[in-house]
Structure 1
C-alpha cells in the first residue's frame, strides 16, 4: 500500500525536478517552491504523519486539532530559517518541518509553542533558525509531543 507520505515524496521530487528544469532553461529565476504551495505540502505531510484533523481555514493561530484535543500549528521550510508568521504568541502546540530537495521531511520541532516564542532572552520573532528549533526540540519531553502514527501503534 502506498502511503500518503510516499505520495508526497514522489510529488515533491517531481516539483523539484520541474523547478530545476525551469531554472536551467531560464537561469535568471530560481523558481523556488515556497509560499502557499510549500505550506500546503507541509500541512498535508503533518496530517498524514500525525493523526491530525484540519480545523477552520480562517484560524490564524492553529491548523489542526490532535486526537486528544490539543490545537496545533504546522510550519515548513526548505531553508535555514523558518517563518513563524507571528508578531505575538499565538499557538498552543507547534510542529516545524524541514523539506529536503529529494522530498524527505524532517520534524525539527514538536512541542509546546510557548517554548519557541518565549525562548530565553528572545521576544517573539517572525522567524527562527532550524538549528535553534532542533536545540529547543531536545528540551521537549516525549509526553509533550504530538505522537506520530508510527509511535501510536
Structure 2
C-alpha cells in the first residue's frame, strides 16, 4: 500500500477508535478534531517511524506491523513529539522513530491523552 492509502486508512481507524470528526479531504495540517476541540494529526505506519511537517496540537501515531493488528504508539501533545523529532529535512519533514515515540508516550499523563472509545478493528 502506498503512503496516501495507508494515511487514509489511519484516519478512518483513528476516527473510529477515538470518536474523532475527520476534516474534509486535503485539509492542511490536522486531519481531525476531537470532541473536546483539540485538533489532531494522525499517522499510521507499517514501518519504524513517521514524518511530520509541522508541530501538531495533538498527535496520534498508530502502527500496524505486517500480519498484526493496529496498536497505538503515541497519543499525546504534538509538541512532545515535534521537539523530540530529528532536524528538518530538505523535504520539510522531521522524522521520529516508533521506539522514541513509545518512550515519550509512556510519560504522557492520562488527562493529556485522547480517550479510547473503541479498540481497533481487527
**TM norm structure 2:** 0.85
Task: List per-residue Cα deviations over 1:93-133 (Å, max 9, x = no partner).
Answer: 0000101222510100000000011139x555521111001
Task: List per-residue Cα deviations over 1:47-86 (Å, max 9, x = no partner).
Answer: 11111001133322101111111110101110112122x1
Give the aligned partner of residue 110 of structure 2: 142
Q: Aligned partners of 1:60, 1:34: CA distance in 2, in Å?
A: 19
Q: Which has the higher helix share?
A: 1
Structure 1 contact 43–74 (Cα < 8 Å) conserved: yes
Give the aligned partner of residue 65 of structure 1: 33
Find out whether 1:119 has 2:84 as its counterpart: yes
Alignment of 1:4-153 (within 5 A): 33-84=1-52, 86=53, 88-89=54-55, 91-119=56-84, 123=87, 126-150=94-118
- Supply the RMSD in Å over aligned alpha carbons: 2.0
**TM norm structure 1:** 0.68
Q: Aligned partners of 1:131, 1:110: CA distance in 2, in Å?
A: 14
Gaps of 5+ in 2: none
Gaps of 5+ in 1: 1-32
Structure 2 contact 32–40 (Cα < 8 Å) conserved: yes
